[in-house]
Amino acid sequence: MKQKIQSMREAIEAKLSSVATTAELREIRSVYLSRTGEIPALMKQLGSLPKEERPEAGKYINEFKNWATERIEECEATLAAKELAERYEREAVDITMPAESRPMGALHPVTLVRDELVRIFSGMGFVVYDGREIEDDYHNFTALNQPEDHPARDKQDTFYVTDDILLRTHTSPGQIHMLETTKPPFKAVMPGRVFRCDDDATHAPMFHQLEGLVIDKGLSLCDLHGLLDTLAKAMFSSDTKTRFRPSYFPFTEPSVEVDVSCMECGGKGCRLCKGTGWIEILGGGVVNRRVIENCGLDPDEWTGLAFGVGMERIAMLKYGLNNIHLFYDGDVRILSQFH
């Protein structure tokens, strides 16, 4: 027995001296020390010894077992430290290296203008309503009192899907949806995309408008002036002045075109305002009685104010761009300049 143990001890020493990984070491531990390993097997052989030899042999095996356990644990500690050191080396991160730069995105100028308009009108208690980009002829034209022979109904100007369905040419049909579904009084703005067969430096086949609609009792053009004056001052600068010029839209009566004092020269006259000191920014008016009637409300009881503003136009004025297509070319050199 002693001899057997001695040779086992030598075998263990030999294996431990050449072991290279903790995985190999686990294997050695299992061969000798696991429940079915060689050292527990020695214990089982005790029974075959003469009775008087058993206590001493048992002690001897136990000491051997303790020795083997200790040696393997020692070896394990050394190997684990070595493997950790290697891993630190392998996975080292140089924290002094400059970080990879990530390009920052910027909001599109039309998004900036829309957010600004929505913020201003929300502050005045307006709700925001999403209209539809695909409309029927009734909501886009008829309900808005746009007669059959109105030039805007020309097939040349409108993208028709079918005889009756079209891409909305303005956000004004949103007024009709609001009036059909919302109990007055209310104040709403409706931002969104609109479509027209039109293409030059200041017109694009798709652009953005924001429609405004206020329905209440006893509204007049004075209320519209107050509202739009507040808007112009918030949008451009606190000393911006506003003026109304008479105009015509089928859905408003009276209708006005709204000018603001030139943001470039302050009203003295320059190239931007073509020497007039004024710049047109939107159309509006008092909602035509027939529109209110078309939506099932009594025009003697309810009055309305409406306006529609082109967001690209505002963005061009605000940011000094002279070509609407710069908004859609997707050139980051242009788009990243607006904050």
- Which chain residues interact with ligand DAH by CB under 6 A? 170, 172, 211, 249, 252, 283-285, 306-308
- Please report how close the Cβ of residue 224 comes to ligand DAH at its closest, in angstroms: 9
| Closest residue to ligand DAH, based on beta-carbon distance | 308
Provide the minimum distance between the beta carbon of 253 and ligand DAH in the complex, in angstroms, as a whole number. 10
CB-based contacts of 27, cutoff 8 Å, min separation 6: none
CB closer to ligand DAH out of 267 and 304: 304
Structure tokens at 297: 């409300």
48 burial class (0-12, 13-18, 19+ CB within 10 angstroms)?
A: exposed
Q: Which is nearer to ligand DAH, 135 or 211 (CB)?
A: 211
For the bound state, the minimum distance from the C-beta of residue 169 to ligand DAH, rounded and expressed in Å, comes to: 7
Nearer to ligand DAH, 140 or 261 (CB): 140
In the bound state with ligand DAH, the residue whose beta carbon lies nearer, of 67 and 248, is 248
| For ligand DAH, the closer CB: 267 or 285 | 285
Q: Tell the smallest beta-carbon distance from residue 320 to ligand DAH (Å).
A: 24
29 or 203: whose CB is closer to ligand DAH? 203
Q: C-alpha dihedral over 154, 155, 158, 164, to 10 degrees?
A: 100
To ligand DAH, the closest distance from the beta carbon of 171 in angstroms equals: 7
| CA atoms lying within 13 Å on the CB side of residue 311 | 27
